[in-house]
Structure 1
């Protein structure tokens, strides 16, 4: 029995010894697994994080210039107009109604001022109508004068044309032409003989934002002028405006060629009626003394307004002055004031659609002619002994007509006086050496 007990205790003791040994081995193993080793830790790999590429700034698309020729804006109805000199009031839309009544094409609508202001402006101190620097910049603060001047054989020689910045010539009726002379940068002391207005003035007037100067008009044209949006910028002897004088009867070939004026009188009267201010539309012409490349020889220009009469206009290039001398028929065209022959630095020929209207202009029954000078059409610029084919363009009522070169740029005039010859589409204008 005693031996049995001893064996049992020995067995228990041995078991306890084994358990302790196992516990120590396990703990040592755990310590070995957690102890640091001599193997150096791997070096950190420095990977640069790429900076994000900057997003390209989108280039704004240019705002397309509206094509007012292809998509003309609608013409607003002209508001009611009251004429203080007569006390007559024209109801809204009368200006447009008279055009319809006499089968006269409706004029174009004005385009936004933003478009007009986007056209190139003349340099400071330079006349916008001639490209010539002015001695006194104050003259550019006054408003252009569009004076109607006779060009019948009895009315020649005229006074003041030598001082005009631009002369616009069109057929009137009866085979003769008439001028609208635009004065801004010079101040002639004598202008005349002053005559009546025609339909063309309803286009040149707003185009230049000018003051219209004339001696009456046929009744339909008078009503168009007085019902127009610019009727206050109108100096008319028939309305009693005291900006004119009459020369003695023995100094005029016929009685209806006695009315004269001066630039000073006209600008003073414009001041008195609150219409003296700079023009808002004289933008878009370019001038360059150097002639462009190309073109074709044109030392002689013949415009047959009325073949076989003195209304045939001829220009001959004078290389010494660099200008084109003007002839009526074969007779030099002289300015009475200066005694010198009229000349042009540039001739701008505008081919325009012409219609004969029902408006009667004189006692012989001659009808008023209408020339469409808006949109675009064929043109020729003649300067420095050469002629250049261009396209003329005018987008709206308040836009200056401009010569456009084949590459789309504005074709430059030569600095100096400009004569604009508005001729019927298809007229055979002769250009020769």
Structure 2
């Protein structure tokens, strides 16, 4: 059965999260203001169920990553080709890690999907989306979206509960259970990103900070590594293996962030990040900052970044972080 057919099955996500593998839609959030996760991770016994054959794919794997303090350090983010940063309830942040050229052994902690994710992912050709759950009213939209939805219970053995953190911040994904192999760099050509020599101009820049109401990101240029070192909330961002996260390119993309139709049990509405449209951005690469424009005409288009003269802006080879900041 093709990936598109699997996403069209009746109640693919809702039924699995509600009944299969004893996964419940009743799990709440442990942090005031953070979005509600309606899907609980599988138990250890469920994780021991027979392994299924991974799907052969030519599209990316996107994983929603928990990013509050209790979820850190995280696992597998350094292997991602792109990391998107979005604002969620309570002014906190969440990550979406996109994998095309490499699949790490494990990724996590995995958390819930948001409405904005569906628009962002339309740029890819039927991507696989790994997420812990979603609000009930959002589940039908996920079922109808042109993607391969992979919450817990969809594929046997894909998720497991770690012992390093308390629930719900300990749900991890085994990417190899979902994809037979990494799709390769060709799966990223739909993003609109261009890689190559740096554009002319720009200004010397060794540190940039992006602030959300309850979170902050600082990117500091390391000349010796040729990368931007990531810090969050004033502390260096490292993985569980001790590796410091250090993208080659950072894009601070200024977008409209509005209230969506969905809210958590505390009445906090989910922010909706509009990634279709146009606006301003700042591209950080090679220790310099470039003020550029961005444009994405439709959800199925990638995002173009251009200079004030309309020339395409190349990114440095390596991991890219795109941080969505509120336009003012």
TM superposition score category, shorter chain reference: 0.7 to 0.9
Match of 1:285 among 193, 199, 205: 193
Which residue of the partner structure matches residue 10 of structure 2?
83
Query: Counterparts of 1:419 and 1:86 in 2: how far apart (Å)?
Result: 29
How far off its partner does 1:404 sit? Answer: 1.4
How far off its partner does 1:87 sit? Answer: 9.3
Change (3 A) 1:267 1:193: same
Change (3 A) 1:393 1:243: farther
Alignment partner of 1:292: what SS? Answer: coil
Query: Counterparts of 2:219 and 2:139 in 1: how far apart (Å)?
Result: 34
* TM-score normalised according to structure 2 size: 0.79
Match of 2:222 among 318, 322, 344: 318
How far off its partner does 1:227 sit? Answer: 2.4
Gaps of 5+ in 1: 1-79, 89-139, 427-433
Change (3 A) 1:245 1:171: same
How far off its partner does 1:281 sit? Answer: 5.6
Which residue of the partner structure matches residue 258 of structure 1?
170
* Match status 1:193 vs 2:106: no
* Match status 1:247 vs 2:161: yes
Query: Counterparts of 1:316 and 1:246 in 2: how far apart (Å)?
Result: 34
How far off its partner does 1:411 sit? Answer: 0.5
Give runs of aligned pairs for residues 321-332 of structure 1, distance below 5 A.
Answer: 321-332=225-236
Which residue of the partner structure matches residue 305 of structure 1?
212
Which residue of the partner structure matches residue 385 of structure 1?
287
Which residue of the partner structure matches residue 225 of structure 1?
142
Change (3 A) 1:160 1:86: closer
Higher relative contact order (CA 8 A, sep 6+): 2
How far off its partner does 1:304 sit? Answer: 0.9
How far off its partner does 1:186 sit? Answer: 1.1
Alignment partner of 1:174: what SS? Answer: helix
Change (3 A) 1:281 1:206: farther
Which residue of the partner structure matches residue 133 of structure 2?
216
The structure where strand makes up a greater share of residues is 2
* TM-score normalised according to structure 1 size: 0.60
Q: 1:81-117: per-residue Cα shift (whole Å, max 9, x none)?
A: 54264798xxxxxxxxxxxxxxxxxxxxxxxxxxxxx
Which residue of the partner structure matches residue 64 of structure 1?
none
Query: Counterparts of 2:225 and 2:14 in 1: how far apart (Å)?
Result: 52
Which residue of the partner structure matches residue 34 of structure 2?
none
Change (3 A) 1:87 1:211: closer
Which residue of the partner structure matches residue 251 of structure 2?
348
Query: Counterparts of 1:382 and 1:87 in 2: how far apart (Å)?
Result: 41
Q: 1:180-227: per-residue Cα shift (whole Å, max 9, x none)?
A: 000010120010111110122112211123211111111122121112
Give runs of aligned pairs for residues 20-419 of structure 1, distance below 5 A.
Answer: 81-83=8-10, 85=12, 142-209=58-125, 210-228=127-145, 230-231=146-147, 233-237=148-152, 240-248=154-162, 250-252=163-165, 254-268=166-180, 279=187, 282=190, 284-288=192-196, 290-306=197-213, 311-336=215-240, 338-361=241-264, 363-419=265-321
How far off its partner does 1:407 sit? Answer: 2.1
Q: Check conservation: 1:295, 1:388, Cα contact below 8 A.
A: yes
Q: Check conservation: 1:285, 1:410, Cα contact below 8 A.
A: no
Q: Check conservation: 2:14, 2:139, Cα contact below 8 A.
A: no
Q: How many residues align?
A: 280
Change (3 A) 1:251 1:372: same
Query: Counterparts of 1:84 and 1:358 in 2: how far apart (Å)?
Result: 21
Q: 1:239-279: per-residue Cα shift (whole Å, max 9, x none)?
A: 5432533234x421x311221112211204x99xxx99x74
Which residue of the partner structure matches residue 70 of structure 1?
none
